[in-house]
């Protein structure tokens, strides 16, 4: 396994991981698979915001998982907060890839002087909740029946990690 910085050349691998999650799980509250055009826009937004996209590849250069973050909210006072996502290919789950990706993402957020990371997790996703708790995230909110997928209501939980950065936050 090796850590990589994902770029547009990894779009197909990321798209495959996301679309599998959309079609088979409640990790994403989407109904329809994403398209190549959507991925191009996604990468453009990541580049514009200077947001990392970190991946893990195996020896065969297969993308095993990826993680990224973006703006939590767009109002100026939220400038020190980011919302993150981490996804692992179903074939490679349970091997510590999610933890490795999240550790690197936390390091990246600190290097970029963010103060808070937040993740929205389906309440039934116990593996993701355990991963986040193991990294020091704490539950900060629960939104009952926030989504509807696969014929039932979904509860959304938010987990946050407060970082020791930035050293000198400023208004404006």
Q: Which domain holds residue 31?
A: 2-162
- Classify residue 22: in a domain, yes or no: yes
Number of compact structural domains in the chain = 1
pLDDT at 87: 97
Residue for token pair 């979904």: 154
- Classify residue 171: in a domain, yes or no: no
- Classify residue 17: in a domain, yes or no: yes
Q: Nearest CA to 114 among 166, 67, 47?
A: 166
Q: What is the pTM of this model?
A: 0.94
- Classify residue 172: in a domain, yes or no: no
CATH of the domain at 25: 3.40.630.30
Q: Nearest CA to 9 among 61, 70, 50, 86?
A: 61
* CA angle (103 as vertex; 4, 98 as ends), nearest 5: 75
- Classify residue 158: in a domain, yes or no: yes
- Classify residue 168: in a domain, yes or no: no
- Classify residue 86: in a domain, yes or no: yes
The pLDDT tens digits along the chain (172 residues) read: 899 999 989 999 999 999 999 999 999 999 999 999 999 999 999 999 999 999 999 999 999 999 999 999 999 999 999 999 999 999 999 999 999 999 999 999 999 999 999 999 999 999 999 999 999 999 999 999 999 999 999 999 999 999 999 999 999 8
Spell out a b/e string for 38-53, using b for 16 or more CB atoms within 10 Å of the CB, else e: ebeebbeebeeeebbb
pLDDT at 50: 97
Using CA atoms, how far residue 17 sits from 48, 108, 135, 153, in Å, is 23, 22, 23, 24
Cα(96)–Cα(85) distance, rounded to whole angstroms?
Answer: 16
- Classify residue 167: in a domain, yes or no: no
Task: Kindly report the number of other CB atoms within 10 A of residue 79's CB atom.
Answer: 19
Q: Identify the three-state secondary structure at position 156.
A: strand
pLDDT at 172: 82
Q: Which two tokens stand for residue 27?
A: 């990790």
């Amino acid at each position: 396994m090796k850590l990589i910085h994902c770029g547009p050349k990894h779009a197909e691998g990321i798209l495959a991981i996301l679309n599998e999650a959309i079609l088979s799980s409640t990790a994403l509250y989407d109904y329809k698979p994403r398209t190549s055009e959507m991925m191009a826009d996604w990468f453009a937004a990541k580049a514009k915001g200077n947001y990392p996209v970190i991946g893990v590849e195996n020896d065969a250069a297969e993308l095993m998982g990826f993680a990224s973050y973006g703006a939590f909210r767009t109002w100026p006072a939220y400038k020190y907060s980011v919302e993150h996502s981490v996804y692992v290919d179903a074939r490679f789950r349970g091997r510590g890839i999610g933890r490795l990706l999240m550790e690197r993402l936390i390091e990246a957020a600190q290097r970029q002087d963010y103060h808070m990371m937040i993740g929205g997790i389906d309440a039934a996703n116990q593996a993701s909740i355990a991963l986040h708790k193991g990294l020091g995230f704490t539950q900060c909110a629960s939104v009952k029946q926030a989504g509807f997928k696969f014929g039932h209501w979904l509860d959304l939980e938010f987990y946050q990690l407060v970082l020791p950065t930035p050293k000198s936050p400023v208004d404006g």
